Structure 1
Amino acid sequence: MKVTNLLSVLATAASASALSINLMSGLNDQSPMISPATVPTIPGGSPITYCVEANYNPKNDLVDIERISIDPNPPVVGKSLHLEVSGDVKQRIEEGAVLAVEVKLGVIRLIKKDFDFCDLLSQANVTVSCPIEPGHLEVIKDQDLPAQIPPGKFVVSAHLYTTGKKELVTCLHTEITFGRK
């Protein structure tokens, strides 16, 4: 399996989601933590949700997610994945924004790495590039999923930060289980 291919798919999904999704929840916000039972769903039926962690509340994000949809849902190994994301960006996203991604296969951490969000966008073959100005944004992305993805439960978290990791922009989470053919 090429972990970089899987990471590319998941990071693209997370980054595209993140950029059109939600920006900036303050790390020192006094809002209550969201519990797993009360995590707001993201319209569109995709397996991408908001994170459930201390000091994060998606209501404080600076971008409103309207919808995230994927097809096929759930994703299928060896097939093309179609992603559509729409939302309203409330604050400009500058060069130097950081996407911190962690990918686990079960309990085994495959990747924990910070990426330059704007570089990811430029490599993702989407019509969005940095700086991203406030306003409505739609991202559509097709990505082939490698046939070498092993069976198992993949858990991905993606934290988008402003330049220099000064403030958390949004936090997204997904869990996808790939079976054997």
Structure 2
Amino acid sequence: MRFFSVACIAALSASNLASAGNWFGIDDVTVNEAKKVPGDSPLQFCDTDHGQDTVTIEKVDLLPNPPESGTKLVIHASGTVSEPIQTGAYVKLTVKYGLIRLISTTADLCEQVENVDLKCPIEKGVLSITKDVDIPKEVPPGTYNVFADVYNSDDTPITCLEASVTFGSRKKSAEAVESVGDL
């Protein structure tokens, strides 16, 4: 059985944004080590108590990290589901570009897991996922903040994740310095 860790719901949401053109390569990542999700990614746990979460996130890795525009991002995530995730589970998703709210929506989690060939209910057990995401070439510079609060159909918490990434032109700046140096 293919695994799914709701730990990567923010990453899956990011993949949906990528296909819509709203999620781009990351040049800089800000992570609070105390809240950091284990693994190599910008994901952090929210400030809420995670003792009652339905999913225990063990690891989320992005390759490459940070992602680069115009490339494929591979997301590997693993975790343990302690109670079945039922039809009707949902995610409250907010994406901000700096101070501008780009997205504020509630999405059906079961529709999202179909992107990784799973269907609700998701039974108890250890799960893992691998998801490829194509990152568009167009990368507007700025800071993006993603917040995903995930609940089961009975409103019990599944997990809560956030990420803050700065999209910049570090490569372009380096190329500009090199071309100035060539003058």
Could you tell me the TM-score, scaled by structure 2's length?
0.72
CA distance 1:153–1:59, shift in 2 (3 Å): same
Question: Would the aligned equivalents of 1:159 and 1:170 in 2 still touch at CA under 8 Å?
Answer: yes
Question: Would the aligned equivalents of 1:105 and 1:153 in 2 still touch at CA under 8 Å?
Answer: yes
- Cα deviation for residue 11 of structure 1 reads 5.4
Does residue 78 (structure 1) correspond to residue 73 (structure 2)? The answer is no
Q: Deviations over 1:8-67 (max 9, x none)?
A: x9551579xxxxxxxxxxxxxxxxxxxx97844322121001012xxx212332221111
Does residue 51 (structure 1) correspond to residue 46 (structure 2)? The answer is yes
CA distance in 2, matches of 1:65, 1:40: 12
**Residue aligning to 2:145:** 155
| Unpaired stretches in structure 2, ≥5 consecutive residues | 1-8, 16-30, 173-183
**Residue aligning to 1:3:** none
Q: Could you tell me which amino acid in structure 2 is paired with residue 46 of structure 1?
A: S
CA distance in 1, matches of 2:10, 2:159: 16
- List structure 1 segments (4+ residues) > 3 angstroms apart after TM superposition: 36-40
Q: Could you tell me which amino acid in structure 2 is paired with residue 163 of structure 1?
A: S
Task: Give matches, 1:96-107, under 5 Å.
Answer: 96-107=88-99
SS at match of 1:103: strand
**Residue aligning to 1:116:** 108
Could you tell me the TM-score, scaled by structure 1's length?
0.73
Does residue 171 (structure 1) correspond to residue 167 (structure 2)? The answer is no
Question: Would the aligned equivalents of 1:76 and 1:178 in 2 still touch at CA under 8 Å?
Answer: no
SS at match of 1:120: helix
**Residue aligning to 1:29:** none
SS at match of 1:146: coil
CA distance in 1, matches of 2:10, 2:139: 12
**Residue aligning to 2:52:** 60
- Identity over aligned residues, as a percent? 39
- Cα deviation for residue 112 of structure 1 reads 0.2
Structure whose CA Rg is larger: 2
**Residue aligning to 1:12:** 12
Question: Would the aligned equivalents of 1:155 and 1:173 in 2 still touch at CA under 8 Å?
Answer: yes
State the Cα RMSD in Å.
2.3
